[in-house]
Amino acid sequence: MTLLQLVPGTRFALVAMCGKSYAAINKCVPIFDISRFTDEISLKSIHVPQIDLQLKWHRLREIETDKKSEVPALSKLNKKQKADLIVAALERWLPRVDAGEVPRMGRAVPVALDEEEIPAEPEEEEDDAGYGERD
């Protein structure tokens, strides 16, 4: 047994559960075609769990890039409301991709720091205590 199994309900157990859901979200293939969510015939071919996964993907990417998300809780929303949320999320995401702020699949874009912004490492002073010859 691991510590997480011994102490359920702790912060560490929560992190372990979230880790599993993050893995599922990261395996998601996002749908970037807005018409799939606005056209009622296309929307019928997408199941609610797939829509939920798409919304979770957008929520995670917004949190990774902006430290906040505009995707609300999903439990009380119907399929059409969820589709509207995806359209709104795509309308926020795709212009950022086109501008080069974020890559299409949502990994953080490394930002080059100017030389002035690079924090200088503090110089370490040599401590001779305990080293060297004894008198």
Q: How many separate domains does the chain show? A: 1
- CA nearest neighbour of 64 among 106, 105, 8, 30: 106
Q: Is the dihedral of CA 71, 14, 30, 40 positive or negative?
A: negative
Domain coverage including residue 50: 35-104
Question: Which residues of the chain carry a pLDDT beneath 70?
Answer: 1-20, 106-135
Amino acid at 47: H
- The answer to whether the beta carbons of residues 25 and 57 sit under 8 Å apart is yes
- Asked whether residue 60 is assigned to any structural domain, the reply reads yes
Where residue 78 falls (left for φ over 0; alpha for ψ -120 to 50; beta otherwise) is beta
- For residue 37, the model assigns a pLDDT of 94
- For residue 36, the model assigns a pLDDT of 93
Q: Is the pTM of this model over 0.75?
A: no
- CA nearest neighbour of 85 among 37, 31, 45: 37
